[in-house]
Amino acid sequence: MEQEPQNKKHKKKVSLLVYITSLIIMLIVGVVGTLSFSRVMDINLENTAQESAQNTDANSTSQSTELKQIDELYSILRTNYFEEVDSEVLIEGALEGMAGAIGDPYTAYLDASESTSLQEDTQGEFEGIGAEVMKEGEFVRIVSPITGSPAEKAGLQANDKIIAIDGESVADLSLQEAVALIRGPKDSEVELSLQRSEDEFSVKIIRDAIPVESVVYELDKSDPSIGYIQITNFNRPTYEELVTAIEELDSKGAEKYVFDVRGNPGGLLDIALQMSNIFVEDGKPLMQSEIRGEDPIIYTADSEQYGSFKFDQKAVLLIDEGSASASEILAGAMSESADIPLIGQTTFGKGTIQNVVPLTGNGEVKYTTGKWLTGKGTWINEKGITPDVEIAMPEYQSLLLINSEKTYKSDDSSDEVKNLNAVLNALGYEVDKTSSLFNEQTVEAVKSFQQENEIDVDGVVTGATSNTLVEALRTLIEKNDTQYNEAIKYLQSK
């Protein structure tokens, strides 16, 4: 998340510096780094630059000795290295190294192109594969694929670990370098090598233009008295979209609601506060924040500040391990201050605040300024929020993709064949889902599947058969959403 908004309901005395900062900086909540979707805040560039300059003047004396070594090293390499060295490369390397030395995955130097990408990603559409990520040791971990994105369609899941991009290992890459390799123009292709649990696999993904659709909603097909609202991110128009969704479903007869932030990696903090305010009675806490050297600041529901629209019907909120940052702020507020039950699985666990500040030239620095806590003061970082009703999705949801470019046939034996047998078993065919052998049972199951789907019947899995199997599994998962079904069951009992 990235720094904090003004709040008229502070419960603690706030220092002048923090108060001024809260006035001029619009915060963001989002897991830093994205395959093609970063979260960004609006900043008063002039005021932020002035603040940065004032801080520099105040600390210039103490910094001079420490920075002298950097200047000396720069001069030595520029004048004495056996080959000519590009000064920009040295400077960017120093900036990246300084930010990276902290060891915080959410703190990073952004060069001009990365700064531009960060700004572009909140303009309503961007080009990429559509997933949010973070650096984790030698891997780039997927926090969540965006709903409807190429990443989701390719079967990428929260906690998949990217090992390589187009054959290049990510072990020694910064998050920004990895993101730069994955991003690209619409219709271009990128190949990701991934690890899921102990299994490794590769997938080729065609990049696309990703519309930032914040809210999707409909009446439940079996019970039209229940409205379903999925919130996919916390973008600038999301508050208005949520209000519209509730009003339209109300007009169609909805009396109870399932809200869904599964796979939602976060977004703008001021929007998260506005949306939390919808569900919480004025005066009750939405969240807290802590900045170094300061007492916690408590943000409370306030119709005048965050919007007058209020929701007071029966509801539940669906969460999972892909629900991060702003999603967790909303979940915490709904659970603690509105008594709305949480259903699903423990959330991602990102409880820090980031800010983005421009540097002299075209670069920016994204850095952690503090941490946020739930309204009751719980820090969820690396722990997440535990649901009231814990229920997992079906086991087959985590099955790997079937590589359509490979051929699997009788007598083959491998982990990929084991995955294939598990897919066939999930689709209702009588095969041993634990077997790694493409045996006669597998052959017959494949032939039956091919016949039912009007594919050439040969008992071999490749091309069209592979793709159709993947689509059939995806449809099965959508029809057997155990978490959503539990939410409906809960609401119907009330």
Confirm if 60 and 73 have CB atoms less than 8 A apart. Answer: no
Contacts 24+ apart (CB under 8 A), 455-464: 459/409, 459/410, 460/407, 460/408, 460/409, 461/402, 461/407, 461/408, 461/409, 461/420, 462/404, 462/405, 462/406, 462/407, 462/408, 463/404, 464/404
**Cα end-to-end distance, the chain, whole Å:** 35
Neighbours of 57 (CB within 10 A): 8
DSSP-assigned letters across all residues of 474-488? HHHHHHT-HHHHHHH
Q: What pLDDT does 14 receive?
A: 35
Predicted confidence (pLDDT) per residue in 243-273, tens digit:
999 999 999 999 999 999 999 988 888 999 9
Angle, vertex CA 276, rays to CA 272 and CA 278, nearest 5: 125
Among 30-34, 108-112, 332-336, which range has the highest average pLDDT?
A: 332-336
Q: How many whole angstroms separate alpha carbon 229 and alpha carbon 78?
A: 58
110-151 pLDDT, tens per residue? 876 655 455 544 445 678 898 888 888 899 999 888 878 899
Q: How many CB atoms lie within 10 A of CB 468?
A: 19
Greater confidence, 78 or 113?
A: 78
Ranges for all domains in the chain classified under CATH 1.10.101.10: 395-493
pLDDT for residue 187 is more than 80: yes
CATH superfamily of 215-390: 2-enoyl-CoA Hydratase; Chain A, domain 1 (3.90.226.10)
Q: Where in the chain is the domain with CATH 2.30.42.10?
A: 128-211
The arithmetic mean of pLDDT across residues 397-412, rounded, is 90
Per-residue model confidence (pLDDT) at position 366: 86
Confidence at residue 113, expressed as pLDDT on a 0 to 100 scale: 61
Please report, for residues 107, 168, 364, 366, 377, the alpha-carbon distance to residue 357 in angstroms, rounded to integers and kept in the order given.
11, 31, 6, 7, 28
Q: What is the pLDDT of residue 355?
A: 83
The pLDDT confidence band at residue 1, using thresholds 50, 70 and 90, is low
Give the residue numbers annotated as catalytic, written as ranges. 325, 336, 350
Per CATH, the number for 395-493 is 1.10.101.10
Cβ atoms within 10 Å of 125's Cβ, excluding its own? 11
* Whole-number percent of the chain with pLDDT over 90: 59
The pLDDT tens digits of the residues spanning 406-454 come to: 999 999 999 999 999 999 999 999 999 999 999 999 999 999 999 999 9
Fold held by 128-211: Pdz3 Domain (2.30.42)
Q: How far apart are CA 287 and CA 385, in angstroms?
A: 14
Cα separations in angstroms, 238 against 24, 88, 337, 437: 22, 39, 21, 49
- CA dist., res. 276 & res. 282, Å (int): 11
Q: How far apart are CA 11 and CA 300, in angstroms?
A: 9
- Residue ranges of the chain assigned to CATH 3.90.226.10: 215-390
What's residue 214's pLDDT?
A: 85
